């Protein structure tokens, strides 16, 4: 899914016009035992509770593509009868009205989620009449092109607020409060089916994790039969190694500065177009060419790319590689400078050693103290 699709689906969770029609929940304790279940029409909830759930649903789709949000495709074998995609599709078709189906789903989550503690499992069903769009982008709310039926699953940790004093606005005073269980922000969630080009795609889903953890990376494969792509740290590491292997002696400051400049420019362009920010193999090669890689150095590009990114040659995400600042780190220096002004840094060999020269401007400060630029003899005269 891309940013536009995610943003459009998130509009289904507006407090004033929420498209969720049914929700089932399961509250489990530290041992994975079910404490309570809830199943009913979403609109039967009180306004305050309904609004809180809407906030949780929005948070379930928040994050950045390639960092928190991943579009996952089901393997072909999982789409056969008895496969994981088929199970989800049956759950979708049931509109959460068949207890045996959603109970089996919750049981699978409880078995495959490894983090201890109390958790609230929420499974919601919604229907969105996708409004028609004209060729010039005008949305016609009264004209629907198709209907998008979806499932949204959210797993939220539940923590205990200890007993104490709290401020009560009605009485305008501090009152004693007993211990309460409070639902925290979603840890993992997914949207099925994916929403591509304003249509349902039952062969894919959108998966979200609050942060990448080794213990949680196995969850998507257990639930959907497909692994998560590389995380941010691993992608950065693989990309760095690939650049170093290709450029070799040409892995200079100037070439790397140009590479980061190109990455930042690509990210800005794709932010404007709101497309999914991925870097396919051929684009990585083009970036290396712009960064000074010669034809000879690029002869081994395919084999090195496969070595670092695996036989699947999965795409890298710009979000994980591009940075708004140029970061220079050594044993005794840590320098951060904005990409748009990084060209002011100059690399120069002086007495056989390489130096980075940074011009001093007239408004330079050191720990809040203004630094006066030393005048040349000509300027003093």
> How far apart, in whole angstroms, are the C-alpha atoms of residue 54 and residue 52?
5
Q: What is the mean pLDDT of residues 166-187?
A: 74
Dihedrals phi, psi of 366, to nearest 5 degrees: -125, 110
User: DSSP letters of 316-349?
Assistant: EEHHHH--SEEEEE-SS-EEEEEGGGGGG-EEEE
For the beta carbon of residue 52, count every other beta carbon within 10 angstroms. 14
Predicted local confidence at residue 254, as pLDDT: 87
| pLDDT surpassing 70 at residue 136 | no
Length of the chain: 381
Could you tell me the residue ranges of all domains in the chain? 3-224, 232-325, 327-380
- Please enumerate in sequence order all residues whose Cβ is within 8 A of that of 318, keeping only pairs 6 or more positions apart, or say none: 66, 263, 266, 267, 270, 277, 278, 279
User: Where residue 182 falls among pLDDT bands split at 50, 70, 90?
Assistant: confident
Give per-residue pLDDT as tens, 343-376.
Answer: 788 888 888 888 888 877 767 788 888 877 666 6
Nearest to 221 by CA among 103, 108, 107, 90: 108
Averaged over 112-140, what is the pLDDT? Answer: 83
Residue 307 has pLDDT above 90, yes or no: no
Using DSSP's 3-state secondary structure scheme, residue 301 falls into: helix
What are 85-122's pLDDT values in tens digits?
999 999 999 999 999 999 999 999 988 888 888 899 99
Average pLDDT over all residues of the chain? 84
In terms of DSSP bridges, do strands 20-28 and 119-133 run parallel, antiparallel, or are they unpaired? antiparallel
Which of 16-20, 138-142, 361-365 is most confident? 16-20
Say if residue 162's pLDDT is above 80. no
């Amino acid at each position: 899914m891309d940013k536009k699709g995610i943003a459009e689906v998130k509009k289904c969770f507006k407090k004033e016009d929420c498209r969720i029609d049914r929700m089932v929940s399961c509250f489990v304790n530290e041992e994975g035992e079910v404490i309570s279940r809830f199943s009913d029409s979403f609109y039967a909830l009180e306004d305050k509770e309904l609004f809180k759930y809407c906030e949780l649903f929005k948070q379930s789709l928040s994050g950045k593509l390639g960092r928190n949000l991943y579009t996952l495709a089901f393997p072909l074998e999982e789409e056969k009868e008895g496969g994981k995609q088929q199970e989800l599709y049956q759950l979708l078709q049931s509109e959460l009205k068949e207890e045996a189906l959603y109970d089996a789903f919750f049981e699978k989550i409880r078995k495959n989620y490894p983090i201890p503690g109390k958790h609230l499992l929420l499974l919601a069903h919604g229907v969105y009449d996708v409004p028609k769009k004209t060729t010039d982008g005008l949305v016609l709310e009264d004209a629907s092109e198709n209907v998008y039926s979806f499932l949204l699953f959210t797993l939220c940790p539940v923590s205990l607020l200890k007993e104490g004093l709290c401020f009560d606005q009605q009485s305008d005073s501090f009152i004693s409060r007993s211990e309460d269980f409070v639902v925290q922000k979603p840890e993992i969630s997914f949207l099925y089916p994916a929403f591509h080009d304003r249509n349902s795609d039952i062969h894919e889903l959108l998966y979200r994790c609050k942060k990448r953890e080794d213990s949680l990376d196995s969850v998507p494969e257990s639930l959907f039969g497909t692994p998560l792509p590389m995380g941010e740290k691993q992608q950065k590491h693989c990309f760095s190694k690939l650049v170093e292997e290709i450029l070799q002696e040409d892995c200079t400051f100037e070439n790397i500065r140009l590479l980061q400049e190109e990455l930042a420019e690509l990210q800005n362009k794709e932010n404007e177009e709101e497309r999914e920010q991925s870097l396919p193999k051929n684009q990585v090669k083009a970036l290396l060419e712009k960064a000074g890689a010669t034809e000879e150095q690029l002869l081994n590009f395919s084999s090195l790319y496969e070595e670092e990114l695996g036989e699947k040659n999965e795409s890298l995400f710009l979000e994980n590689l591009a940075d708004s600042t140029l970061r220079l780190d050594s044993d005794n220096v840590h320098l951060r400078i904005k990409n748009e002004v990084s060209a002011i840094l100059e690399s120069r060999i002086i007495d056989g050693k390489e130096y980075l020269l940074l011009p001093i401007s007239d408004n330079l400060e050191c720990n809040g103290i203004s630094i006066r630029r030393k005048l040349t003899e000509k300027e003093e005269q």
